[in-house]
Homo-oligomer: A and B are copies of this chain.
Amino acid sequence: MSVGIAGYGSTKFSQDDQPLDSILLDATADLFNNTRNLVQDDIDVVLVSSNDNSKYLGPILSELSGIKPRITHTIESLCNSGTNAIVSAYSYLAAGLAKTALVVGADRFDSPGQILKWDNSRGEFKHPIFWASIFTKSYKRRYNISSKDLAYVSVKNHKFALDNPYAYSKKQYSLEDVLESKELTEDVRLLDCSRPCTGGSAVLLSTKDTISKFTDFPIWLTGIGQKNTSASFTANPSLASINSTKKAAEIAFRMSNTSPNKVDVAEVHDAFTVCEPLALEAIGIASAGEGANMSKQLHESNHRRINPRGGIIGTGHPLGATGISQTIEITEQLQGKAKKRQVDHPQIGLVHNMSAGATSSTVLLFQN
């Protein structure tokens, strides 16, 4: 059974001190406003993606929205909770248990998902900045990459975010701004980092026999790859590449019978600048050591192929919403509705979303 994206909605990403249920509701209300013919009774499944400690958010969102779903719960897998929820929704539909599923992700600027307490148990640093720093040092040394080379990722993604009305960042930064921003570790500066923020994003998935009620431009989820390699980044066989993403991409390309060179537009998980080239190389869009140069060239040519909404660095990182926000961008691109961010006539789009030092990755492929 084919499953596609039937609608979407989002809040603006901000530093607002907004309750979690209210963020979820705002994203859902935006989705209802944007989606033709949608009524509450159409929705069989409500999945919430969040790292928040609140319980029973699925039923709470459902009641606030007037939905009485069959299936509803919360899904958590740190930063790739959103794509886990989308794949789960796909499965309910493909398995024949439901026709239409709402997936809503949200987190606050102070989300408890930003720190993995379990790393205490083996004496590792808990904050993601430390693994990002180790990956950065290792990647730079392995491929003779400079801080300046990596800074282009930040410059590009902040620039692209200027055309994204939902983005947290509203400012253009120069190479010098990035290279002179506050030094957080020996290898990572403030503008190398995405920022935790408050935000929510929602997508509606529907089966082939139902989706035409909601849209004339369904975007089909044709490839799904996921892989978890461990719970902490030191299990990576290399610190200059990301193994879970490589495996997830292989699975997704095999399922959709396509290949990396056919990807017209992609949102990849640039939680830190080094993550964009690492992701491009693991997916197979760039060859090993060439990812940073690709980002630089895309910046200079103003080509939106990679992270057209501004990625995570430009858009902000409300953890549970991120994978869903990436999926909305790829949907709009494949529908030709991305306005100033639009890539020319894309046919195949990719979402890459990962967690906890690249120990878990999701790769999704979409086609129009």
Which of A's residues lie within 8 Å of B, judged by CB?
21, 46, 51, 53-56, 58-60, 62-63, 68-78, 81, 84, 87-88, 90-97, 112-113, 116-118, 224-232, 235, 248, 251, 355-356, 359-360
Check A87–B63 contact: CB distance below 8 A: no
Check A56–B116 contact: CB distance below 8 A: yes
- Residue on B nearest A117 in the bound complex, by CB: B54
CA A62 – CA B357 in complex, angstroms? 16
CA A63 – CA B235 in complex, angstroms? 10
CA A53 – CA B111 in complex, angstroms? 12
Residues of chain B within 8 A (CB-CB) of A229 are 68
Check B74–A56 contact: CB distance below 8 A: no
Residues of chain B within 8 A (CB-CB) of A93 are 95
- Residue on B nearest A232 in the bound complex, by CB: B63
Instruction: Tell me, rounded to whole Å, the shortest Cβ–Cβ distance linking A128 to chain B.
Output: 12
Contact A84 to B55, CB < 8 A, known contacts A91-B95, A91-B97, A96-B94: no
Contact A355 to B56, CB < 8 A, known contacts A70-B228, A75-B73, A226-B71: yes
Extra inter-chain contacts (7) besides given A56-B356, A63-B235, A91-B95, CB under 8 Å:
A55-B76, A55-B117, A55-B118, A59-B77, A62-B230, A73-B75, A90-B95
Residues of chain B within 8 A (CB-CB) of A225 are 70
Residues of chain B within 8 A (CB-CB) of A88 are 73, 88, 91-92
